[in-house]
Amino acid sequence: MEKSIIRLQDVWKTYQMGKVEVPAVRGISLEIFPGTFVSIMGPSGSGKSTLLNMIGCLDFPSKGKIFLDGQDTSILSESQLAQARGQKIGFIFQQFNLLQHLTALENVMLPMVFQGQEEEQRKARARYLLDLVGLGDRVDHLPSELSGGQRQRVAIARAFANKPQLVIADEPTGNLDSHSGQKIMDILVQFHKEQKGTIVVVTHDSIIANYSQKIFHIIDGQIVQNHKQSEQTIWKQ
Partner 1 sequence: MEAIKEYFKLAIKNLKTRRLRSWLTILGIVVGIFLVITLISLSGGIKNTILKQLNALGGDIIFVMPGAIDNPLTTFMGGQMLSEEDIQTVKKTKGVEVALPMSQKSQLMRYNNEQKTIFLTGFPWDEGKDFLSNFQGWNLSEGTWPSPGKRELLLGSLVAEKDFFSKRIKVGDTVTVNGKSFKVVGILNSIGNKGDDTSVYLDREVFQQITGDREGGALAIMVKAEEGVSPDELAARIKSELDEVRKRRRGEDVSDFSVLTSEKMGSIAGGVLGVIQAAVMLFAAISILVGGLGIMNTMFTSVRERTKEIGVLKAIGAKNSAVISIFLIESGILGLIGGAGGVIFGLIVAKLIEGYSRASGAFLLEAYMPASLIIFGLFFSFLIGCLSGYLPARKAAKLRPTEALRSYE
Q: Where on the chain is the footprint of partner 1 (CB under 8 A)?
A: 53, 56, 58-59, 78-79, 82-83, 85-87, 90-91, 93, 95, 97-102, 110-111, 113-119, 158, 162
Q: Are strands 37-41 and 20-32 parallel, antiparallel or unpaired?
A: unpaired
Q: Which CB, 96 or 209, lies closer to partner 1?
A: 96
- Rounded to the nearest angstrom, the gap between the alpha carbon of residue 98 and the centroid of all alpha carbons in its chain is 15
Instruction: Give yes or no for a contact between 60 and 227, defined as CB atoms under 8 angstroms apart.
Output: no
Residue 226 beta carbon to partner 1: minimum distance, rounded to whole angstroms:
26
Q: Which CB, 74 or 225, lies closer to partner 1?
A: 74
Question: Which among 156, 73, 86, 149 is positioned nearest to 115, based on CA atoms?
Answer: 86
Residue 79 beta carbon to partner 1: minimum distance, rounded to whole angstroms:
4
Q: Which CB, 108 or 184, lies closer to partner 1?
A: 108
Q: Which CB, 129 or 215, lies closer to partner 1?
A: 129
Which residues does 199 contact at the CB level (< 8 Å), separation at least 6? 36, 37, 38, 166, 167, 168, 169, 188, 191, 192
Rg of the chain taking only CA atoms, in angstroms: 18
Residue 116 beta carbon to partner 1: minimum distance, rounded to whole angstroms:
6
Residue 31 beta carbon to partner 1: minimum distance, rounded to whole angstroms:
22
